[in-house]
Structure 1
């Protein structure tokens, strides 16, 4: 696990750079557009190309990883490269079809994704979408090249694609607010292109060479198609959750959809920094272990990955619930983002955070099934969770507004994890569930105590120092630091095994940065 841990650490560093910049992007958007109509429009239309490719591109790119290893092992490096080009070209054919359909039927696309937009708001959304829909061409290639780099042991570059992407969007937000509104979608399209262009030089360094080869009758493509179809449905179900939330959100009063977006971005930062960093490294390893029938290594990887996520994400989720309001106020409240925007976003953040750990564990378990070429189980379990999410959304949106959408998402995520654990036990027998539960209980106790201490410290510091951005930042920083110290001491006292792994990682980094 030492190589895995080190790789995950450097991915965290790369992801942190991208996500910190992504946070700054949301702060800039909040400053110039607040939680008004333009913020709602940009949030929805920016995600239309992303949602489409998240369904098709993610399913293909995820299935590609075990198939690449299988093809390379059976037929060699040259055939694996040929397989890569075949998949890439097929993806581009589909992306071109989607882009053309998006341009021809833009109004229908916007009606589907933003049914609650009316009048001028709808017309602006249509114009934004026409500009950004071609982004599917860049995003589809970016997905596959990220997978290609990962199977060739380059995990950092895919984690850095957010840097040029966010820089360009930040610039477009500032320029559009001071000149022409439509600089905003044009800048977003340019930003999408950089996600592909940034990775190409590194792919060529890893011996990638493009060939215009398309063969849908190829045996590897047929096998890929068999695996992709249920995964495609599974990913579509996951994205349908997002789609349903956003569609219902367009019917809420102005600003609530944007508040959901800002809160979700905060949770996505945690997911990308810690969860994605871990699963990006473990998925290729799980695929290798499955091909080699290394069951003990497979189980050990699942346990250690799940426990690391529990130890990191659970206290962050508790901290977000306890300190949601000052966190949102410090990060976003300026310009057009007022006290009412802070209140709306804080409520959403607390309720999204309830399911944050479940989202992290769910992604690990999905990869555990995918690595064994089982794409049906996640699809079935996800379908059940989707149905529950839709029912809860419809029941809770009227009495609770945007809060109902947030808590419905969390509940459905928790149910998905429970179902996946049951399915994993049926499929593999013992999978180390007792060790995961043991770590979970210890982390929950430590997190609960940490939450009480953190809130107590924040309230007292805030009472002593008073209001004001700098003073509140000091109060928040002091409370977070006290919480980190308390939680760290408690998990060490409880002798959680993965804590030793974390210290081992830090020690290796220290030795690299400060040689003896």
Structure 2
């Protein structure tokens, strides 16, 4: 495959994943609007967000984090150098080992639910009712870790074979199940918020079952078998341990935010959650999409000993992330209050909740670009099966994040926690980039000066137009949902239009994105 067609293929695959992920994120926004309307930012909402965050955090840490980054390079190597029968054998043995470990971990988590809540949200200890509710919710949501981790395992196989659309679409089912549970099930329960927990559990089953037929067509449907000493499984497990830190440092930082926010005033956990959800929109719709698509390609290029193609793939990915991440971060910072008001200011969500969540969003916006860049830079190490370097960087960034948390929480409260997360992600990005550049793994291609000039001018034009068109917060609060939606559509549409138009006027063309 030529370099041109390769990059064209990456662009097409990235577009497919981005569209599917964007659909999931949009439905995720609808889901959060429903949750905000039904439960607001009160004690029940705080309890659920903690009960949902715990298995979700572990899922990102183990399944989509350490496991995926360790499994995909090994699977890609097997695919490149070995037979389909040997690939199938690896899949079966990994499924058996992973399933056994996850089943034991899930059983332990369900039993120890109250203690896990005290560990992850120690600030709940003074509120026995909230603590008990969070424990009951966690017993229902914790099995999601088992189900979604197996789903991520199936998705990693599909991604390695270029079937990106199915794993990217799968998260849509989580949002559909939670929306349905909140609307249809909550009126019939003594504690309505329990409906959200059951929605999470149902979604885990639905997502796993959805992917199995596609693996069966590829003759790679996992048949779990536990075999001690399997070479591939041992390599994956060896790579997983350091990858736990290397790829998931941002998730650990977000979890630390939740722990400290539990000590702050009621609503702090929810404000951070709503802000984090919006900041993750560009990350999930594009940053994770690019990282997902390039990892198998980088792994194959490393296995084929093609360093020039490896560097070129990283260069292309960095430009694509900057092209989306810079304007997205600017827009989130400028439109923090309009976005929060338009999406969540209904029902139990108050004006004060909107303003407090907007403060957190402005702080998270500073780190949106670096969150996205981490998803591109980290695969540069994992594809080469280098886990030690990201571990060392991750430890440094975790220490920095903890220090910044303690420094900023007092003057800025929950917004200080968000700002600390953004600053530590900047450090993470800088260290990851410098490592690849210093060792000659990544060498910037020609044209970066012109690309940066075009991007900077386009972002300046977009920001100026949004500032000019935006209305005061009081008007956003006074409008109904239709007026908010119309005005937000005008702002977003006009911002995108002037951004794209400026790039075109400055000479950027689609063919430049394929090279």
TM-score normalised over the length of structure 2: 0.92
Q: Secondary structure at the match of 2:30?
A: helix
Q: Are 2:269 and 1:262 aligned?
A: no
User: Which of the residues 135, 145, 152 maps onto 1:143?
Assistant: 152
Which residue is equivalent to 1:475?
A: 487
TM-score normalised over the length of structure 1: 0.92
1:342-384 per-residue CA deviation (whole Å, 9 max, x = no partner) reads 1111111111111101111111000111111111111111211
Which residue is equivalent to 2:110?
A: 103
Q: C-alpha displacement at 1:440, in angstroms?
A: 4.0
1:132-175 per-residue CA deviation (whole Å, 9 max, x = no partner) reads 22222212211110101111211000011122211111122224
Which residue is equivalent to 1:59?
A: 66
Which residue is equivalent to 1:221?
A: 233
Q: Are 2:220 and 1:211 aligned?
A: no
Which residue is equivalent to 1:414?
A: 426
Given that 2:24 and 2:175 are in contact with CA atoms closer than 8 Å, whether structure 1 keeps it comes out as yes
CA distance in structure 2 between the aligned counterparts of 1:444 and 1:38, rounded to whole angstroms: 44
Q: C-alpha displacement at 1:187, in angstroms?
A: 2.2
1:56-97 per-residue CA deviation (whole Å, 9 max, x = no partner) reads 223122211110122233331111111111111111111111
Spell out the pairing of 1:234-313 with structure 2 (5 A cutoff): 234-235=246-247, 237-313=249-325
Given that 1:113 and 1:247 are in contact with CA atoms closer than 8 Å, whether structure 2 keeps it comes out as yes
1:273-325 per-residue CA deviation (whole Å, 9 max, x = no partner) reads 11122222111111111111212211111111111111112111111111111
CA distance in structure 2 between the aligned counterparts of 1:94 and 1:496, rounded to whole angstroms: 50
User: Which of the residues 167, 174, 178 maps onto 2:176?
Assistant: 167
Which residue is equivalent to 1:343?
A: 355
Q: Secondary structure at the match of 1:220?
A: helix
What is the RMSD computed on CA atoms of the aligned residues? 2.3
Q: Secondary structure at the match of 1:355?
A: helix
CA distance in structure 1 between the aligned counterparts of 2:170 and 2:263, rounded to whole angstroms: 33
Q: CA 1:435/1:418 → structure 2, altered by over 3 Å: closer, same or farther?
A: farther
Given that 1:15 and 1:272 are in contact with CA atoms closer than 8 Å, whether structure 2 keeps it comes out as yes
Given that 1:164 and 1:195 are in contact with CA atoms closer than 8 Å, whether structure 2 keeps it comes out as yes
Q: C-alpha displacement at 1:54, in angstroms?
A: 2.2
Greater shift, 47-56 or 190-199, is seen at 47-56
Q: C-alpha displacement at 1:9, in angstroms?
A: 1.3
User: Which of the residues 90, 96, 109 maps onto 1:89?
Assistant: 96
Q: Secondary structure at the match of 1:100?
A: helix
Greater shift, 446-455 or 175-184, is seen at 175-184
Spell out the pairing of 1:371-382 with structure 2 (5 A cutoff): 371-382=383-394
Which residue is equivalent to 2:20?
A: 14
Given that 1:139 and 1:196 are in contact with CA atoms closer than 8 Å, whether structure 2 keeps it comes out as yes
CA distance in structure 2 between the aligned counterparts of 1:309 and 1:405, rounded to whole angstroms: 25
Q: CA 1:171/1:475 → structure 2, altered by over 3 Å: closer, same or farther?
A: closer
Q: Are 2:41 and 1:35 aligned?
A: yes
CA distance in structure 2 between the aligned counterparts of 1:381 and 1:50, rounded to whole angstroms: 23
Given that 2:243 and 2:391 are in contact with CA atoms closer than 8 Å, whether structure 1 keeps it comes out as yes
Q: CA 1:123/1:437 → structure 2, altered by over 3 Å: closer, same or farther?
A: farther
Q: CA 1:35/1:83 → structure 2, altered by over 3 Å: closer, same or farther?
A: same
Q: Are 2:379 and 1:367 aligned?
A: yes
CA distance in structure 2 between the aligned counterparts of 1:198 and 1:338, rounded to whole angstroms: 38
Q: CA 1:258/1:440 → structure 2, altered by over 3 Å: closer, same or farther?
A: farther
CA distance in structure 2 between the aligned counterparts of 1:20 and 1:492, rounded to whole angstroms: 28
Given that 1:22 and 1:162 are in contact with CA atoms closer than 8 Å, whether structure 2 keeps it comes out as no
Paired residues, number = 502
1:235-282 per-residue CA deviation (whole Å, 9 max, x = no partner) reads 454432122111111111111210111111112121111112222211
Q: Are 2:120 and 1:113 aligned?
A: yes
Which residue is equivalent to 2:461?
A: 449
Q: CA 1:188/1:36 → structure 2, altered by over 3 Å: closer, same or farther?
A: same
1:198-218 per-residue CA deviation (whole Å, 9 max, x = no partner) reads 111111111113334222312
1:463-503 per-residue CA deviation (whole Å, 9 max, x = no partner) reads 89x94443343333323333222222322333346x5445x
Given that 1:62 and 1:147 are in contact with CA atoms closer than 8 Å, whether structure 2 keeps it comes out as no
Q: CA 1:4/1:237 → structure 2, altered by over 3 Å: closer, same or farther?
A: closer
- For structure 1, list consecutive stretches of 5 or more residues without a partner in the other structure: 506-516
CA distance in structure 2 between the aligned counterparts of 1:235 and 1:299, rounded to whole angstroms: 20
Which residue is equivalent to 2:4?
A: none
CA distance in structure 2 between the aligned counterparts of 1:401 and 1:344, rounded to whole angstroms: 10
Given that 1:99 and 1:137 are in contact with CA atoms closer than 8 Å, whether structure 2 keeps it comes out as yes
- For structure 2, list consecutive stretches of 5 or more residues without a partner in the other structure: 1-6
Spell out the pairing of 1:461-500 with structure 2 (5 A cutoff): 467-496=479-508, 499-500=510-511
Q: C-alpha displacement at 1:448, in angstroms?
A: 2.6
Q: Secondary structure at the match of 1:214?
A: coil
Q: Secondary structure at the match of 2:469?
A: helix
Q: C-alpha displacement at 1:433, in angstroms?
A: 7.1
Given that 1:458 and 1:478 are in contact with CA atoms closer than 8 Å, whether structure 2 keeps it comes out as no
1:38-67 per-residue CA deviation (whole Å, 9 max, x = no partner) reads 111111101211222322223122211110
Which residue is equivalent to 1:509?
A: none
